Structures are given as structure tokens and as C-alpha cells.
Amino acid sequence: MAMTDDAARPTAPLTFPPSFLFGTATASTQVEGGDVDSDWMAFAREPGRIKGGDTPRVACDHWNRFRDDAALQKKLGYGAYRMSIEWARVEPRPGVFDTAVLDHYRAMLGALVDAGITPMVTLHHFSLPTWLTHTSGAASRAGLLADALPELLARYSAVVVRALGDLCRLWVTLNEPNVLVAQGYLMGAWPPAKKSPLDAVRAHHNLLAAHVAMYRALHAEAASVTGTLAVGIAHHLRVIVPDASTRAVDRLGATALRSVFNDAFARAVCDGTLYGPLDAFARARGRRAFDVRNAKGTQDFFGVNYYSRDRVRLSLRDADQMFLPRGVEKGAEVSDLGWEVYPDGLGTVLGEWSQRSGVPMYITENGIADASDTQRKSFLVRHLAEVARAIARGVDVRGYFHWSLMDNFEWDSGYEPRFGLVAIDYATQSRTPRPSAELYGAIARARAIDRATWAAYREPPANAKRSPT
């Protein structure tokens, strides 16, 4: 009989090193609330953009409740928290920095540090100030396409790290640049809601240049003010396989998607090369293409946001999905959003990119939309087991940040998806830890998945959601 994957796994307990960070993650637009002058707030005001007409206007009111939220994390046993800074708040007008806002972020970080929670701060998590996106001049040069984007993001980053660098050592420049470009410039689902491959390439190059400028600005600031920092990117990486491995076109489609979506940005910062055709395309159109060689080595750690596996096929009827519709195997375990639950993929991604990058790894996001909390415990245990296995194989993984600490504003899907370990009642803003929140805390405190936990959660629950057969 062939040995199953499970039989090949080490038996519990699965342990983690003493310095390993067990944390959770959020992002400013998704949890803070407030009348912020950002592109997402403007986008949400446009009818039909966000499911249910939701807006990030109130979200989880984390801006005002951060002290209680830090206390809750401590109580639950979590030792780290990844949060983001809202650029539009810090720099409400070009070149004008709001010191009261920076003080507020100092208080937020201070509350974490006082509670013994290690912060990781993301400088750019999808949203932009409207002074950059809604310019009166050439709209084609606004937002991520603005020539000044790298310089502006670097200036903002320097101001932030000067103000907050003594409270935080772990910095993320950009969150999921590949997702931002795909949703905003190919799928037309996020601001600026374009469907332009050429602009997608331009935005991609500009974000790469911005990352490099931010990386250098952070280190320059650290040298003079704060001491050592570790700077990385939160890369969104998926397992992408052909729907039917027998169809050559599907295999080609999967390879193409992997190269463009998974590899292009991540590879550029690892070895200073970009997926050939992308670069050639930008150059052929006469755009000043960013010299990708400058990107080599501009990350001190590699952040992985891992969620799922996609089965890809080539279909000429699906122009709206760039001819590469993504699906899930029939009968596979899925989340409330229909994303396949595929824990093995996390181990694969960690192994591959640890080798390619040569720097320490953090899982900067991993989580599931599961309103009933039926699958989250098993999801957590199986993904954490992959992390423990990777560490046992010699992969240098320093921490795991579960997405998310609490339910929040899930971009164009509004408030319906429930990613939180902690449930939010948006009418009262009350916080209620789900059973999975307690289990994660127990694992974090023990720094191990014990035998009983592994036995109970190594398989998906019998009532897990499945894709149609």
C-alpha cells in the first residue's frame, strides 16, 4: 500500500523554537475605522463597488479600542501583532505630516510593547491617499502609476520610522503587491478599477521601485536614529496547478500564472531579475522601466501570505479572468469564500522561497473565512504543523501571524467574510473570541502541538464545507 502524506509526517508533539513568534495580523483600512481620505474610502462610496454597500468608515473601531485589543491579545496568549499604518492619515496632504497621528500610532505600538507583544508594522497595505489617486492632472499617472510613487513612499517611510522605529524592529514595506496590481489593474475589482495589462506592468514596476526606495530609506533612518531593523515584503503566494494535467494548454496556463503572479515580484527581490516578457513588454512600449537589478537583496526576511491552491485552465471564453479561470478540485475542503484548504502548500512555499531568498521566513498571513468556526481549529493546527515540519527540515522560519485577530472589512467583499479568531459584532463592537482563538493561544503558550491536539485536528472536521462534486 502506498504511504499517505499523513503517514509520512512526524508524530506529535510538534514543537517550535523558544524565539518563534505566534501572532496575528490586521491592516489599518480593515480594522481602524475613521473618516480617512483614502482611495478605498472614496471607492466604497461609489455605488456597487463593495458587497452590501459596506464601507471601512467604522470597521472594528480599532483606532479607539486598540488598548482593549492589545489586552485581549495578551489574555489569549498571543506574542506578536502585525498591524499597518494608514499613509493617508499620516500624510493628509503632500509633504504635510500629522504629528498627532504619529503620536497615536506610538500609543498603539506602546500598548503592544507594554503587553509584551512584539509588533511588526506594514507601511503600505493596499490603500493610498486621495491626493495621489485623485489628482487633477493626468489621471494615467495617478496612484500606483505616479512617477513620484517611489520617492513619496520612501519619504513617508522615513518619517514613520523616525517617529516609531524605537518601538518596532520588524517592518514590511508593501503588502501583496501582486494582488494589488491584479485586482486594481487587471480584474478591475479594486481601485482604480482598470483592466489594462500595460498599466498592470507599469504599476508592478513602480511598486518594485517603491519597495527598493523604502527599503533603503528605512535602513538609512535606522542607522542614524533607531539601530537595527529587519525589513521585508509580505508576498502573497499560492499553489497554482493545472486543472487537467493532461492538457498541455492548462499546464502552460499554470506555468504562466505562476511566473507572473507568484514569481515576478518575489524573484526580483531575491535575485534582481524579472520575468522576461514583462520587462520586455514595458520596454517595448517606451516606458522607463525600473532597473530590476537594484532590487536584488532588498529584503532582510521573506514574508509569506499563504491561503490556498488554485487549479487553472486556459479558456478563451473567460476574458474577464485573463483567460485563466481558477477553480478548486471537486469535493475539496473549502472556506466560506470557496478557497481550497490546502495546508501542504504552506510547507512547499516555505521550502521553495527560503531556498530562493536565502533570508529568514515569516508567515505574515494565513487564515480562513469561516463564520461558524467549524474548520478554523483544524486549519490552524494543520498549517502550524506544516511550519513545525519546515523548521524541523532546517527552514529558518521565525514566526506565524494568523489572519486575522478579528473579523474585519474584507475589501470588495465587505464585512461578510469572517476571518477573525475573535468575532466582531459590528452593531455593538463587542469582541468574542471564537473557540479557535483559545486553541491558538494554548498552542502559542505551549510552543507545541501536543498529541491530543494533533489527534483531534489533523483531519478536517466531518462537517467541513466542500466544493461541489
Which residues are designated catalytic? 176, 365
**Least distance to ligand IFM from the beta carbon of 56, Å?**
11
Cell representation of residue 137 = 492632472
Nearer to ligand IFM, 203 or 314 (CB): 203
Per-residue x/- mask for ligand IFM, residues 429 to 458, rule CB under 6 A? ------------------------------
353 binds ligand IFM, rule: CB under 6 A: no
**Least distance to ligand IFM from the beta carbon of 419, Å?**
6
Nearer to ligand IFM, 155 or 326 (CB): 326
**Least distance to ligand IFM from the beta carbon of 114, Å?**
27
Per-residue x/- mask for ligand IFM, residues 173 to 212, rule CB under 6 A? ---x------------------------------------
For residue 233, what are the β-bridge partners?
A: 302
Nearer to ligand IFM, 118 or 122 (CB): 122
Nearer to ligand IFM, 263 or 365 (CB): 365
Nearer to ligand IFM, 126 or 440 (CB): 126
Those residues whose C-beta lies under 8 Å from the C-beta of residue 413, and which sit 6 or more positions away, are 50, 51, 337
211-222 in b/e burial notation, b at 16+ Cβ within 10 A?
A: bbbbbbbbbebb
Q: Which 8-state DSSP code applies to residue 53?
A: G
Cell representation of residue 373 = 468556526
298 binds ligand IFM, rule: CB under 6 A: no
403 binds ligand IFM, rule: CB under 6 A: yes
Nearer to ligand IFM, 243 or 410 (CB): 410
Nearer to ligand IFM, 325 or 414 (CB): 414
Strand 361-365 and strand 448-449: the pairing is unpaired
410 binds ligand IFM, rule: CB under 6 A: yes
24, 28, 130, 305: residue in contact with ligand IFM (rule CB under 6 A): 305
In order of 116, 366, 385, 440, the CA distances from 23 in angstroms are 12, 11, 16, 9
**Least distance to ligand IFM from the beta carbon of 234, Å?**
8
3-state secondary structure (DSSP) of residue 232: strand
Per-residue x/- mask for ligand IFM, residues 4 to 43, rule CB under 6 A? -----------------------x--x-------------
Whole-number Å distance between alpha carbons of 63 and 31 = 8
**Least distance to ligand IFM from the beta carbon of 249, Å?**
29
Cell representation of residue 379 = 486549519
Q: Which 8-state DSSP code applies to residue 3?
A: P
Tell me, rounded to whole angstroms, the distance of Cα 462 from its chain centroid: 29
**Least distance to ligand IFM from the beta carbon of 305, Å?**
5
Long-range contacts of 144-148 (CB under 8 A, 24+ apart): 144/180, 144/181, 144/184, 144/185, 144/203, 144/206, 144/207, 145/199, 145/202, 145/203, 145/206, 146/206, 147/206
32, 365, 373, 407: residue in contact with ligand IFM (rule CB under 6 A): 365
Task: Quickly tell me which residue has 520587462 as its cell.
Answer: 279
Those residues whose C-beta lies under 8 Å from the C-beta of residue 404, and which sit 6 or more positions away, are 24, 25, 26, 30, 367, 419, 420, 421
Sign of the Cα pseudo-torsion (184, 263, 356, 207, in order): negative
**Least distance to ligand IFM from the beta carbon of 64, Å?**
21
Nearer to ligand IFM, 290 or 339 (CB): 339
Segment (H or E) for 348: helix 344-357
73 binds ligand IFM, rule: CB under 6 A: no
156 binds ligand IFM, rule: CB under 6 A: no
Size of the site for ligand IFM (CB under 6 A): 7
86 binds ligand IFM, rule: CB under 6 A: no
**Least distance to ligand IFM from the beta carbon of 65, Å?**
19
- The site for ligand IFM (CB under 6 A) is made up of 27, 30, 176, 305, 365, 403, 410
